[in-house]
Amino acid sequence: MKYKPVLELKGSLLTLMVLNLFNSDNELIAKALAEKISKAPDFFQQVPIVIDLQAVEDNQAVLDLSELVKLLRTYGLTPVAVRGGNIEHNEIALNMNLGILNNIKSPAPQLTLETKVAAVPEIPAAKIIRDPIRSGQQVIAEKGDLIILSAVSHGAEILADRHIHVYGALRGRALAGINGDNKAQIFCQQLYADLLSVAGKYQVNEDFPEDLIGKSTQTYLEQDKLNIKKL
């Protein structure tokens, strides 16, 4: 029998969003960030981001890193690492389960906040539904996200080529990534769905974790398996 390894660790060059800071004032940072995010709020949801403090350190400014991380998370961004911080910043980062990246003097091309906002017009427009989805109704968002600003009833079905966002109770059936997008996700304020599916992988409500029923949740694929986690 041929031996098959349990896992493999490999180096990889990944494109990450980088937040380059030039000021340590959290109030000014919050205002500038809100302005950037408002241009494409859904586009930044769950996006991994590196916090670059090299310019702030050059100015010997004091930054409340823990508050900045909390701020980014409130906008749906996912901080994954810090670069260019001092010893105190690095300790805070480690305590918040963030990675520490080495400083670089000549950074390779990165996908920055400015670059990503400029690319937003190329993203398919989301389909936004303001009214409740009634039993027997089927709503489909082709090529983009489906955003429902109300509740979805039992017996209804919602489908999207990309992500599904339900800002209310999600009942019925929700199917994201219907054309095979395994990076699609389902977000809802209250989980009561009969079925959740991402790129063809599904779970019925009998299989949902009991402690997540009625809670705000995020559903996504990980290693080809459907995961439902609390937001």
- 65-74 vs 87-95: helix crossing angle, rounded to 10: 40
Percent of the chain with pLDDT over 90: 40
pLDDT above 70: residue 170: yes
**Beta carbons of 192 and 174 less than 8 angstroms apart:** no
pLDDT in tens, 189-222: 999 999 999 998 889 888 899 999 999 999 999 9
| Angle at which helices 65-74 and 26-38 cross, to 10° | 20
Residue with the bigger pLDDT between 56 and 147: it is: 147
Answer yes or no: is pLDDT of 92 > 60.
Answer: yes
38-42, 65-69, 199-203, range with the lowest pLDDT: 38-42
Answer whether 21's CB lies under 8 Å from 52's CB: yes
Please report which confidence band the pLDDT of residue 145 belongs to, taking 50, 70 and 90 as the band edges: very high
Candidate ranges 56-70, 73-87, 156-170; pick with highest mean pLDDT: 156-170
Structure confidence at residue 61 as a pLDDT band (50, 70, 90) = low
pLDDT at 115: 47
Q: What pLDDT was estimated at residue 128?
A: 95
Q: What is the pLDDT of residue 108?
A: 47
Mean residue pLDDT of the chain comes to 83
Phi/psi zone of residue 37: left (φ > 0), alpha (ψ -120 to 50 degrees), beta? alpha
Question: Does 119 score more than 70 pLDDT?
Answer: no
Shortest CA distance to 142 belongs to which of 176, 167, 117, 193? 176
111: pLDDT strictly greater than 70: no
pLDDT over threshold 70, residue 40: no
Residues 37-61: what's their mean pLDDT?
A: 73
Distance separating alpha carbons of residues 196 and 208, to the nearest angstrom: 9
Predicted local distance difference test score (pLDDT) of residue 12: 53
- DSSP-assigned letter for residue 3: -
User: With 90 as the cut, is the pLDDT of residue 116 above it?
Assistant: no
Strand pairing report for 195-198 and 225-230: unpaired
Per-residue pLDDT at 63:
80
Place of tokens 């091309």: 109
Instruction: Report all structural domains of the chain as residue ranges with CATH numbers, in order of start.
Output: 17-122 (3.30.70.260), 127-230 (2.160.20.70)
- C-alpha to C-alpha distance for 170 and 156, rounded to whole angstroms: 10
What does the alpha-carbon distance between residue 187 and residue 185 come to, in Å, rounded to a whole number? 7
pLDDT at site 24: 83
pLDDT of 35 reads 83
